[in-house]
Each structure stands twice: as structure tokens, then as C-alpha cells.
Structure 1
Amino acid sequence: MALSFSDIQAAKNRITPFINRTPVMSSTLLNSWLGHEIYFKCENFQKVGAFKARGALNTLAWLKEQGIHPKRIIANSSGNHAQAVAYAGQQFKIPVTIYMPEYSSAVKIQATKNYGATVVLSKDRNVTDALVKEAAKEEGVYWVPPFNHEQVICGQGTAVLEALEEVQGINAVFTPCGGGGLTSGNFIATKGFNNTIKSMGVEPLNANDAAESLRKNSIQKLPNIPNTLADGAMTMAVGDLTFEYLKQLDAFFEVEEEIIVYWTQWLTHLLKIRLEPTCAMTMGGVVQWLQTQEKPQKVLVVITGGNMDQNTSSKIWAKDCLSEVPKL
């Protein structure tokens, strides 16, 4: 049965005691340059520095509500979901083991350990996924997937619901898409709140499994680990649950690496916040859409996280992009 707006509302009620009410920000200068109003839901100020805390906390709170008490929680992730599940396990006093590929951000690996989780590293995402599937067979173990889980989707959708309740008159909501959990939650929350608001997804051109899946109307898996600075969107394939929601989106956009670098620099400069390339990427999709619009639009963008290590930061700032002012 498809998830509904009431499921997002229930998730919001569950997680409110555990999360930060993150701010919505905008830049007067950016708005004047583009001729549209852009609002940013800043989940970089969320627990663990990313929206992923919402899905993890909602899943564990839902388990407790259902009378399910796992002896151990496990998850597979290359970054923010790992920290989120570790943090959620800490809040609910359940031991956590996280399976991560070796190429995950060093900052995110260390942060996951700091939240008390046991971290198991493997050579790549395929091995990581195989290990977590095997561990999930153990008695008393509950697997919290990074995106392909109903309660994870509902938790992620609460970020969009909060923002829509705060800012009136939004015309379109944009989210970055990795496995599709946030983008699915975005769709359910947005259409449930007001069916006339457009729901959009954006992913890196270098990791465009979702876009390929939508074009071919079947889930496509990337043949190799994608080479993209948007590490939060390096998922090899979307899930069977999330794909059903992605197919209902109003539009889906692909963004090149140089555009990801450009918007990471500019949003950092304009908003004066630390943010990840994955969410800055979303502005590439926003610009593509705004170029087709004849009237001024009010757009909501989810800033998904602020956990970026020095290696990625060095690549982002290797070339100065701030001499070229944003325009349509």
C-alpha cells in the first residue's frame, strides 16, 4: 500500500522530541540575480549534520511503537546514514553496527564511531551491501536501509513538510537524489500538503542511475563506483520502493560536476554555511527548471547536510568560481 501524507505527519510527531527544527534561509542577492525566490531548508544544522537523522530516528521510534525491540541495529552507508543510525541507536540505547566502503568520507567514518557504533569497512559498496544482507539474517538483528524502507522515507519527508508549513506559496520543491529516500519523502509530503506544488529530483550526471531508470522504466544499476563529488548521491541503484515514487515526480534533472563545484562555492558564499556538494548540486536542477518558466517562482531546496572532509573541500576550492555571478 502506498505511503500517504498522514504517514509523514505521524513521522513528524514521532521524531520531534529528538531532532532540531532547522532554519529556512534565503539570499536576497541570489534572488535578485535569478529573478525568483529560492528558500533553503538547512538540514546541515540537523542532528549529525544531515537530514538522515530524521529517517533513522523515525524508524527506531516506529519499531518501539510497534513493540519490536531489536538486540542490534545494522545499516549500510557511505556516510550520513551511517552517522544517523549510530545516533538513533544511541538515543534508543540499542547497539549498532555499520557497514561502510573504505572510500567513505574519513570525517563520516570517525563521526559514526564517535556515536558509539561498530564500523566494518570493506573495499567497495557491493561488498558492503553483501555483508549487511548476511548480517540481517541473524536473530534479533534489524536492518535500517539508507533509503528503501517505508519509515526511512517518511522520516526524510518531514524536512519538506516543516519547510512548507513555514514558507507560504512555494511552487516547487527540489531535493538531491541518491537512493531516492528523501526524494520519495519529498513527493509524498509535497503532494499531500498541496497537490499543485511541483516535486523534483536532481542527481549527478556521473551517477545518473535514477535518470537512466526513469528513461528505461526499470531499475538500472551503475556498472562501476561513480566518479562524483556528490558523495551522498553515489548509490549504485535506487530501491524498488523509492522507484515507484520517483516515477511520479514532475521532473528529474542531471547535473555536471563543474556545476556541482560552482554551486557549492556560491551557496557557501551567499548563505555563509558549510554544506555538502550533494545538496549544492540541486541548484543545477533548479536553474534548468527556472530557465523554462515565464513567471517568477518560489522554490524550496533541501540543504541535506554539511559533513564534508578536507579531501573533498580541496577539490571544491581548487578553482575559483566566484568571479562568475549566478544567472539564468
Structure 2
Amino acid sequence: MSAVLDRAPGLENTGKLLPSLREIEDAARVVYREFQATPQYRWGLSSQRLGTDCWIKHENHTPVGAFKLRGGLTYFEALQRRGELPAQVVSATRGNHGQSIGWAARAHGVACTIVVPHGNSLEKNAAMRALGVTLIEHGEDFQESREFAMALAAERGAHMVPSFHADLLRGVSTYWWEFMLAVPQLDVVYVPIGQGSGACSAIAAKLALGRKLRIVGVVSAHATTYADSLAAGRVVEAPVTTQLADGMACRVADGAALDILLPQLDHIVKVTDDEVAQAMRDLYTDTHNVAEGAGAASFAAAMKERELLKGQVVGVTLCGGNVDRTVFAEVLAGPQA
């Protein structure tokens, strides 16, 4: 079910976090040193399935198969610009953030250790190691990995790279900026929420470009900290039981992200693992692109609300395609609606 959010008067606490249009444009120049703008297409079959024009932004086409790389590039560029590049960094991830930090750290000659929970995606783990990352498995979920990574960074005197930071938002905002420039007629976009950088960056691009489109947040029905926290107006911890949407498997929301999301999100949609699996199948059938669980969540949410979207131009993000082959094979073998 959708949950309409209470409106807050403004963004008094977020001015230092959200990038300006000029900062987004500057960030794009940093990103484009590594790869060019990703495509967005109006897919006929997806539009037919949704019952209205559906544009899909293909962040699965970055060199690490997910949008996170943009943020890692701008984060390390900012460290270098300030003369603060460390000898080593530590961070925690379920995979895509870790690939981003590993790629950027390698480009700057910085040693990188990434902590992941036990049972993390084997293929995401392998991709991080291929980037030169030292991988440590610790904890049963992302929050335990994050807390261990913070302690490890303090013990080593290493720089701890957070999952949510203004210098990450600058880079991630470039993909929403690309999308909104390429498809100015968008009425509404659906954005999955993990730690919040994707959704906050969509807000940043909207405000920077002066657009009127609605931004709908999407969370896993099995990881509801952001939905619960937005409803309560404060951080509310919630258990994580999703087996498919690991990119949204967050147990504790980020307070700074909440400050940005609360006054700007139109509403929140919760999607189940079954709905995400169906969206993964739909996207493969319609576009022959691979979507990981979080990467299919925005389309799942749009499909859930398709009766409300007639006549509107809808944007969704295939924000990552890094799903283990065995998992994807099992999902594809499931029933096609």
C-alpha cells in the first residue's frame, strides 16, 4: 500500500547536502572521465504493460553495472581536490557501493577494504575483489557490517567512506540530471531507497532543474526502516528479511537522508520480494536487460500503482543489474504474470 507523507515547510537542514545545478554539472565532468551518460529508452512492451508511457533509465550500463560508481568518483575527486586523499579507506556495502569505492580508490592509488555481511552476493564479492578490494565478511546484515567497518577504520587510522554523504550525492545526482534533461516531459519517477542517496539525488536534480515532477520512494516490504522513519518523522529501526532486494536491505535509516526525503517525496510504495521478482521477469521480457532486485523495484512499484498512472509519463530506474546468475535463473523460472 502507498503511504502519503506529511509535508514539511522546507529544506532548512539540507542546504549543505543537496548540490546546486552548477555542482551537478561539474560532477558530470568528473563522471564522464570514466564513462559517458547512460541511456534512457521508452520501451514499448513496458509501456504497454504499465498502460502509459514508461521510460527506463539504464544505470545497469555503467562500468560496474550500477549507479553507485558516480558517487564514488566524485567522493574521491573531492578528497583529492582538498588535498585529503588518505593512504587507505574502509567502507561497508551489500555490493554496489563497494564496487564504486573500490573503482575510485584504485584510480587514486588508495588501498581499499570493504566489509560485507555473511551470505552476501558471491558475484558482487568477486567483482569487488577484481577491483583490488580487500574483502572482509562480518555480521549478519549491512548494519552490523557498517558498525564493524567504522571500528576497523578507527583502529587502523583509515578513512571511513560513508554510504550517505554530500560528495556522493553530487555524483549520483548526475544520473537523475541526465534523465530529467533527456525526458523533460516526465510526470512522475519511482526511486528505490537503500541508504537514500538515489532518492535524495533525484530530489537534488529536480530542484536544480526547477522541475515539477513527482518523486515516489520505493522500499522493500521486508526492509521498512525508511517507510517507518518517514511516517514517524525520526529514525525507526526495522528488521530486514528481504531475500531478493539486497540493495534495499537497510535496517537503520540515515537521519540526514530523512531530512531531505520527508518534505520532498510524494509518497512511499512498499514492494514485496514476489513483486520484485515479477518486475525482474517483466524487465527481462520487455528489454532483455538484467535487473537485480533493487534494480527492478521501481518498476514493481509503478506496476503496483498502474491504475493511478493513466495518461502520465512515468520514469523508472534500472539502477543495477548485479544479480547472481543462480538467483536470476531461479527468478526467471518463476511464473510469468
Asked if these proteins are the same fold (TM beyond 0.5), I'd say yes
Q: Deviations over 1:16-75 (max 9, x none)?
A: 212332111232123234331111110111021110101111100111112212111211
Q: Deviations over 1:144-191 (max 9, x none)?
A: 222x21111221111111111112311112211111111111111123
Q: Are 2:161 and 1:144 aligned? A: yes
Contact 2:42-2:54 within 8 A present in 1 as well: yes
**CA distance in structure 2 between the aligned counterparts of 1:296 and 1:284, rounded to whole angstroms:** 18
Q: What residue is the counterpart of 1:191 in the other structure?
A: 207
Post-superposition shift, 1:138? 5.0
Given candidates 146, 154, 172, the residue that maps to 1:129 is: 146
Counterparts in 2 of 1:63 and 1:162: CA distance versus 1, 3 Å: same
Q: What residue is the counterpart of 1:238 in the other structure?
A: 253
Q: Are 2:304 and 1:316 aligned? A: no
Q: What residue is the counterpart of 1:229 in the other structure?
A: 244
Q: Deviations over 1:114-135 (max 9, x none)?
A: 1001111113234312221113
The percent identity for this pair of structures is: 24
Instruction: Say which SS state the counterpart of residue 64 (structure 2) adopts.
Output: helix
Q: Are 2:328 and 1:307 aligned? A: no
**Which residues of 2 match residues 228-267 of structure 1 at below 5 A?**
228-247=243-262, 248-267=264-283
Q: What residue is the counterpart of 2:93 in the other structure?
A: 77
* Corresponding letter in the other structure for 1:203: V
**Which residues of 2 match residues 206-221 of structure 1 at below 5 A?**
206-221=222-237
Q: What residue is the counterpart of 2:121 in the other structure?
A: 105
Q: What residue is the counterpart of 2:285 in the other structure?
A: 269
* Corresponding letter in the other structure for 1:259: E
Contact 1:77-1:98 within 8 A present in 2 as well: yes
Q: Deviations over 1:62-115 (max 9, x none)?
A: 111122121112110011111111111111111111111111100011110110
More moved, 136-145 vs 307-316: 136-145
**CA distance in structure 2 between the aligned counterparts of 1:296 and 1:287, rounded to whole angstroms:** 14
Instruction: Say which SS state the counterpart of residue 213 (structure 1) adopts.
Output: helix
Q: What residue is the counterpart of 2:180 in the other structure?
A: 164
Contact 1:26-1:38 within 8 A present in 2 as well: yes
Relative contact order (alpha carbons < 8 A, sep ≥ 6): 1 or 2 greater? 2
* Corresponding letter in the other structure for 1:255: V
**CA distance in structure 1 between the aligned counterparts of 2:216 and 2:107, rounded to whole angstroms:** 33
Contact 1:175-1:279 within 8 A present in 2 as well: no
* Corresponding letter in the other structure for 1:135: L
**CA distance in structure 2 between the aligned counterparts of 1:102 and 1:114, rounded to whole angstroms:** 19
Q: Are 2:23 and 1:13 aligned? A: no
Instruction: Say which SS state the counterpart of residue 252 (structure 2) adopts.
Output: coil
Q: What residue is the counterpart of 1:86 in the other structure?
A: 102
Instruction: Say which SS state the counterpart of residue 47 (structure 1) adopts.
Output: coil
**CA distance in structure 2 between the aligned counterparts of 1:317 and 1:288, rounded to whole angstroms:** 20
**Which residues of 2 match residues 39-78 of structure 1 at below 5 A?**
39-78=55-94
**Which residues of 2 match residues 169-188 of structure 1 at below 5 A?**
169-188=185-204
Aligned residue-pair number: 319
**CA distance in structure 2 between the aligned counterparts of 1:25 and 1:9, rounded to whole angstroms:** 22
**CA distance in structure 1 between the aligned counterparts of 2:273 and 2:146, rounded to whole angstroms:** 26
Contact 1:26-1:271 within 8 A present in 2 as well: no
Structure 2 regions of 5+ residues with no counterpart? 1-13
Counterparts in 2 of 1:290 and 1:194: CA distance versus 1, 3 Å: farther
Contact 1:53-1:85 within 8 A present in 2 as well: yes
Structure 1 regions of 5+ residues with no counterpart? none
Instruction: Say which SS state the counterpart of residue 287 (structure 1) adopts.
Output: helix
More moved, 133-142 vs 307-316: 133-142
Contact 2:295-2:321 within 8 A present in 1 as well: no
**CA distance in structure 1 between the aligned counterparts of 2:77 and 2:68, rounded to whole angstroms:** 14
Given candidates 37, 56, 59, the residue that maps to 2:53 is: 37
**CA distance in structure 2 between the aligned counterparts of 1:318 and 1:207, rounded to whole angstroms:** 25
Q: What residue is the counterpart of 1:286 in the other structure?
A: 302
Post-superposition shift, 1:208? 1.4
**CA distance in structure 1 between the aligned counterparts of 2:84 and 2:296, rounded to whole angstroms:** 38
Q: TM-score, normalised by structure 1?
A: 0.92
**CA distance in structure 2 between the aligned counterparts of 1:203 and 1:271, rounded to whole angstroms:** 23
